[in-house]
Structure 1
Amino acid sequence: MKTLLKPLLAIGVATAAVAPIAAAPAAADTIKGIGVVSLPAVVANSNAFKTAEQQRGTTYKAQIDQAEARRKQIADQLNPLVTKFNTDQKANPKNPALAQQAQTIQQINQSGQQELQQLLAPVALSRAYVTEQIEDKLDQAVKNAASKKGVSLILDPTQGAIIYADGAYNITQDVLNELNTLLPTAQLVPPQGWVPREVREQQAQQQAAQGQQQQQQPATTGR
Structure 2
Amino acid sequence: MRNTFKHLALALPLGAAMMAATPALAQSRLGVAVVDVDRAVATSNAYSVARTQMETTYKAQIDQFNARKTTLETDLKTKRDALDAGLKAAGGKPTPALQAQYEGLQTSQQNAQAELQRIGQPIATAQAYVEEQISAKLTDALKNAMNAAKVDLVLKPEATVSFQPTVDITAQVKQQLDTLIPSASITPPAGWRPGGQQGGAPVAAAPASPAAKSSGR
What TM-score do you get using the length of structure 1 for normalisation?
0.70
Alpha-carbon shift at residue 183 of structure 1 (Å): 1.4
User: For the residues of structure 1 that align with 2:60 and 2:112, how far apart are their CA atoms?
Assistant: 18
1:9-33 per-position Cα deviation (integer Å, ceiling 9, x unaligned): xxxxxxxxxxxxxxxxxxxxx9463
- 2:134 matches 1:174: no
Alpha-carbon shift at residue 193 of structure 1 (Å): 0.8
**Secondary structure of the corresponding residue to residue 129 of structure 1:** helix
User: For the residues of structure 1 that align with 2:130 and 2:174, how far apart are their CA atoms?
Assistant: 16
Alpha-carbon shift at residue 49 of structure 1 (Å): 1.3
How has the CA–CA distance of structure 1 residues 142 and 44 changed in structure 2, closer, same or farther, with 3 Å as cutoff?
A: same
Per the alignment, residue 102 of structure 1 pairs with: 102
Q: 2:39 aligns with which of 41, 48, 51?
A: 41
Root-mean-square deviation (CA, aligned residues, Å) is 2.4
Q: For residue 173 of structure 1, what is the amino acid of its counterpart?
A: A
How has the CA–CA distance of structure 1 residues 81 and 153 changed in structure 2, closer, same or farther, with 3 Å as cutoff?
A: closer
Conservation of the 8 A alpha-carbon contact between 1:38 and 1:157? yes
Give the stretch that moved more between structures: 104-113 or 145-154.
145-154
Conservation of the 8 A alpha-carbon contact between 1:36 and 1:155? yes
Alpha-carbon shift at residue 94 of structure 1 (Å): 2.3
Conservation of the 8 A alpha-carbon contact between 1:130 and 1:188? yes
Conservation of the 8 A alpha-carbon contact between 2:32 and 2:151? yes
Q: For residue 72 of structure 2, what is the amino acid of its counterpart?
A: I
Conservation of the 8 A alpha-carbon contact between 2:129 and 2:186? yes
User: For the residues of structure 2 that align with 1:39 and 1:75, how far apart are their CA atoms?
Assistant: 33
Give the fraction of aligned pairs with identical amino acids, expressed as a percent: 39
Alpha-carbon shift at residue 163 of structure 1 (Å): 2.0
Alpha-carbon shift at residue 77 of structure 1 (Å): 3.1
Specify every segment of 5 or more residues in structure 1 that has no aligned partner in the other structure, as ranges: 9-29, 204-223
User: For the residues of structure 2 that align with 1:77 and 1:31, how far apart are their CA atoms?
Assistant: 61
1:53-91 per-position Cα deviation (integer Å, ceiling 9, x unaligned): 222121111222222232233234333322222222221
> How do 1:92-131 and structure 2 match up within 5 A?
92=90, 93-94=92-93, 96=95, 97-131=97-131
Per the alignment, residue 76 of structure 2 pairs with: 78
- 2:216 matches 1:200: no
How has the CA–CA distance of structure 1 residues 85 and 177 changed in structure 2, closer, same or farther, with 3 Å as cutoff?
A: same
1:84-115 per-position Cα deviation (integer Å, ceiling 9, x unaligned): 22222221122511111111011011111011
Per the alignment, residue 27 of structure 1 pairs with: none
Conservation of the 8 A alpha-carbon contact between 2:42 and 2:48? yes
Greater fraction helix: 1
How has the CA–CA distance of structure 1 residues 6 and 76 changed in structure 2, closer, same or farther, with 3 Å as cutoff?
A: closer
> How do 1:181-196 and structure 2 match up within 5 A?
181-196=179-194
User: For the residues of structure 1 that align with 2:64 and 2:165, how far apart are their CA atoms?
Assistant: 45
Q: Size of the alignment, in residue pairs?
A: 174
Give the stretch that moved more between structures: 137-146 or 69-78.
69-78
**Secondary structure of the corresponding residue to residue 65 of structure 1:** helix
User: For the residues of structure 1 that align with 2:75 and 2:37, how far apart are their CA atoms?
Assistant: 42
